Amino acid sequence: MFIQQLYTNCLAQAAYYVESEGESLIIDPLREPYPYLELAKQRGAKIKFVFETHFHADFVSGHVELARKTGAIIVYGPDADPNYEALVAYDGEKFKLGNISIEVLHTPGHTVESSCFLLYDEHHKANALFTGDTLFVGDVGRPDLLSGNLNKEQLAAMLYDSLNTKIKTLPDEVIVYPGHGAGSACGKNIGKEATSTIGQQKKFNYALQPMSKDAFIKAVTSDLPTPPPYFFKDAKINIEGYDSYTTTILHANKALTIKEFQQQIAEGAIVLDTRTAAQFGRGFIPDSVNIGLDGGFAVWVGVLLKFGVTIVLVAEEGKEQESITRLARIGYDAVKGYLQGGIETWKQAKLPVEKIDQLESPELEDYIKTGEYTLIDVRNKIEINLNGKLKNSLSIPLNELQEKVADLDKHEYYIVYCAGGYRSMIAASILKQAGISHVFSISGGLSKIKQDAPVLVEEV
């Protein structure tokens, strides 16, 4: 028996490869099929099944294309109704893989069709549970993403029953392989560990502690952050099917001349710059939005860019296809290409370039003393409560900035900060796009300020 977790940091998502006696299955694959095909080829195994724990909201799954390329059977748990060929298993149904087996446990709550997959080893002993978005390390799946006709309280009640009758009754030594890790918006506060056990989660996971159903419902439905708008689009795509990854990349992976690039902008395309905050700040095309590949790229694209919007890319050389792939993973397929030669081509053509200065924390105090700058904190409220904030700063979480930017005075001077400098440059690019000229970002964010100038920070 062989199990490999394939973790994607950008989405904080875990897919799984399971193999026994030359037969393998994939659980919750990302859209591009090649990593799974290559792994199976390397190991000399045939992919027999593609298991889906539920209709994912945070990414476009690769199940349809993977099944098409391998002849594998797509398997869902009860109450799934996809618009393509798949086997909808009954609760408790077992599937043979080499000399191990996988049992489908219907665990509704995150969604109505959510299921976990219990692996029995060569000795028919329960060995591992692939929990999808039902159970995370330290958390459980939020019940407000794809409810159909049910509200979040009704789904939370279902989740309570699933955890208490299907999950907590398993042996303590069973390994837990969750669908997401820290940073995913599919839970409220997921732990950073990649795996756990049933016993550990019964001890430390707040949602698995003894409590009444009413108390549980209150606990899992309170303080839920607003889900990114693209979640509901991706869930629909995963139910209905999608264009192949190969076709999407073929259409998007095009080097554009400056003339072609400008023509796309004239026709309404937005310029998405995927370079780092430091690279972007040193020079960018006017009206660009910076969302760097080195941070929570996919989630922030889904939060800040309208689903279906036409995109042209500026990327670091050699990162063009990665940018396109990571957009395709969340269903952002309307990419018309990338600027050939990147920002240097634009500069060499003597076209307009804007800059955003990044302030180092030691010099921040001098800027603040002038009284000419408004500080904007783009972290969320939980971060502020946990880690404090700069004195006299204005709180506008990044996911709310586009709605509130019209209320800001375009003639003011703004200094934007976050935890580490990634989100603040995104925010600064949005302010620039809105016509605010005098914008600065703090390099290293609050964590660096706490080291270099702690006197500027106050607890909340």
**So what's the pLDDT on residue 148?**
66
Q: Taking residues 271-285, what's their average pLDDT?
A: 98
3 phi and psi angles, rounded to 5 deg: -130, 130
261 with 219, same domain?
no
262 with 386, same domain?
no
Within a domain: 426? yes
The b/e string for 432-448 (b: 16+ C-beta within 10 A; e otherwise) is: bbeebebbbbbbbbbeb
415 with 371, same domain?
yes
Q: Taking residues 153-167, what's their average pLDDT?
A: 97
The residue among 172, 168, 161, 398 whose CA lies nearest residue 289 is 398
Within a domain: 406? yes
Residue 298 banded pLDDT, cuts 50, 70, 90: very high
Within a domain: 290? yes
Q: Taking residues 27-46, what's their average pLDDT?
A: 97
Last residue of a domain, one of 348, 370, 401: 348
CATH of the domain at 91: 3.60.15.10
In the block, tokens 């939020």 appear at: 142
51 with 148, same domain?
yes
Residue 122 banded pLDDT, cuts 50, 70, 90: very high
Within a domain: 223? yes
202 with 329, same domain?
no
* Length of the chain as a residue count: 460
Please calculate the CA angle 224-239-323 and round it to the nearest 5 degrees: 75
CATH of the domain at 409: 3.40.250.10
**So what's the pLDDT on residue 147?**
57
The residue among 77, 213, 107 whose CA lies nearest residue 170 is 107
* Alpha helices by DSSP H, 241-333: 245-252, 258-266, 277-281, 297-304, 320-328
Burial class (CB in 10 A: 0-12, 13-18, 19+), 124: exposed
Q: Taking residues 66-75, what's their average pLDDT?
A: 98
The predicted-structure confidence for 370-395, as pLDDT tens digits, reads as follows 999 999 999 998 899 999 999 999 99
The DSSP code for 331 is: T
pLDDT above 70 for 289: yes
The boundaries of the domain holding residue 66 are 2-232
The predicted-structure confidence for 182-211, as pLDDT tens digits, reads as follows 988 888 889 989 999 999 999 999 999 999
Strand 2-8 with 13-20, pairing? antiparallel
pLDDT above 60 for 407: yes
263 with 344, same domain?
yes
And the tokens for 35? Answer: 């990593």
Within a domain: 95? yes
Last residue of a domain, one of 348, 371, 391: 348
pLDDT above 60 for 306: yes
164 with 69, same domain?
yes
408 with 290, same domain?
no
Last residue of a domain, one of 321, 348, 375: 348
pLDDT above 60 for 457: yes
* Partners of residue 171 on adjacent β-strands: none
And the tokens for 368? Answer: 């603040």
Strand 394-395 with 413-417, pairing? unpaired
99 with 16, same domain?
yes
* Partners of residue 15 on adjacent β-strands: 6
The residue among 175, 174, 177 whose CA lies nearest residue 194 is 177
> Helix 422-433 crosses helix 297-304 at what angle (to 10 degrees)?
30
> Measured between alpha carbons, how far is 34 from 16 in angstroms, rounded to an integer?
14
114 phi and psi angles, rounded to 5 deg: -55, 135
**So what's the pLDDT on residue 213?**
97
Within a domain: 237? no
pLDDT averaged over every residue in the chain: 95
pLDDT above 70 for 45: yes
**So what's the pLDDT on residue 186?**
87
344 with 361, same domain?
no
Q: Taking residues 94-122, what's their average pLDDT?
A: 97
344 with 367, same domain?
no
Within a domain: 238? no
For a pLDDT cut of 70, what percent of the chain falls above it? 99
DSSP assignments along 67-136, one per residue: HHHH-PEEEE-TT---SS--EEPPTT-EEEETTEEEEEEE-TTSBTT-EEEEEE-TTS-EEEEEEETTEE
The count of structural domains within the chain is 3
> Helix 320-328 crosses helix 245-252 at what angle (to 10 degrees)?
140
285 with 424, same domain?
no
And the tokens for 397? Answer: 């979480």
Within a domain: 108? yes
pLDDT above 80 for 426: yes
**Helices (H) and strands (E) in the chain — how many of each?**
17, 26
